[in-house]
Structure 1
Amino acid sequence: MRPEPGQVLHFSEDPTIERFVPHVAVTSVRSEPYVWAVGYERCPDYWFPRACPRAMAWVGPRTTKEDTARIIGAGCGERVHAIEYCWLKALMEVRLFAYRLPAAGFAPIGEPPHAVVSTTPVVPLGPPEPVGDLFELHEQAGIQLRVLDNLWPFWNEVTASSLEFSGIRLRNARR
């Protein structure tokens, strides 16, 4: 599930949104109200239940072969996502939807950019689309999906490596 040219996506478990209004997200460190969305490259970060903690790592221009082999694995592609066992059932059962939004009016946020935001209300281009089987999406995208007892040892290895990475909802991970 990726956007087409001229589009960005917003993923949600709520299939009833008719208009996105800028707001300050509960989890945001920013105080400005935004409508949040993602472009093509960052969509896989959201192929999860909303509250599911996930640690993600991928090969970047400065990634060493040693870190790739050690963390992602030899012959295992260039990207890995990890969740905890306690989220496996939710990952299998969640009904996730994608809203296609017009890319015009959105601007990149973060350094490096990890999302796009709008400061004005946005109306979806059509009804929300069911995202479907999240395991299948990972497989089709060539993304390794790991299920771990605890994310923190993996996260610590990733963040100390030369891989690029992102962690979402890590506050929900086991301590």
Structure 2
Amino acid sequence: MRPEAGEVLHFSEDPTIDRFVPHVAPTSTEKEAYVWAVGHDRAPDYWFPRQCPRAMAWVADGTSDEDRDRIVGAGCGVRVHAVEYGWLESIRTTTLYAYRLPADRFRPIGAGSHAMVATEVVEPLGPAVPVGDLLAHHAAAGIQLRVLDNLWPFWDEVVESTLGFSGIRLRNARPRPR
């Protein structure tokens, strides 16, 4: 599930949203109220239940062959997502929806333009669309999905590497091993 030309996506477990109103999320470091969405490249970051902690890494400009082979895996594509075993059933059973939103209402925010934001109310281009099988989306996109006992050892390797990376809802991950 990726946006079409002229669209960005907002993913939600709520299929009844008829308008998106800018707000400041309780966990946000941003002080301005926004409506959040993502474009084509970052849509896979959200093929998860909302509260699911996930660590993601991908080959970027400047990624060393050693880091690619060590973390992503030799011959294993260019992107890997990692989750904990405790979230696997939720990934299998959660119904996730995508809202298609007009891209011209949004602008990039943050380093690497990982997300798009709007500062005015945005109405979806149509009803929410069920995303479908989240595991199948990863497979079809050629994205490895690793299921780990604990995210932190993987995350620590990723952030010290030359790979591009993102962590979402890591506060929901199991505690760091001692």
Q: Same fold (TM over 0.5)?
A: yes
Q: Counterpart of 2:35 in structure 1: which amino acid?
A: V
* Number of the residue aligned with 1:124: 124
Q: Alpha-carbon deviations, 1:59-104, whole Å to 9, x = none?
A: 0010011000000111110000000000000000000000000001
* Number of the residue aligned with 2:159: 159
After TM superposition, which residue ranges in structure 1, 4 or more long, deviate above 2 angstroms? Answer: none
Question: Equivalences for 1:11-160 in 2 at 5 Å?
Answer: 11-160=11-160
Q: Counterpart of 1:69 in structure 2: which amino acid?
A: D
1:105 deviates by 1.6
Identity of aligned residues (%): 69
> Which deviates further from its counterpart, 53-62 or 26-35?
26-35
Q: Which runs of 5+ in 2 are unaligned?
A: none
SS at structure 1 position matched to 2:39: coil
Root mean square deviation, CA, Å: 0.5
C-alpha distance in 1, partners of 2:39/2:60?
A: 18
1:27 deviates by 1.9
Q: Output the TM-score relative to the length of structure 1.
A: 0.99
Q: Which runs of 5+ in 1 are unaligned?
A: none
1:171 deviates by 0.4
C-alpha distance in 2, partners of 1:26/1:173?
A: 18
C-alpha distance in 2, partners of 1:112/1:74?
A: 25
Q: Counterpart of 2:147 in structure 1: which amino acid?
A: V
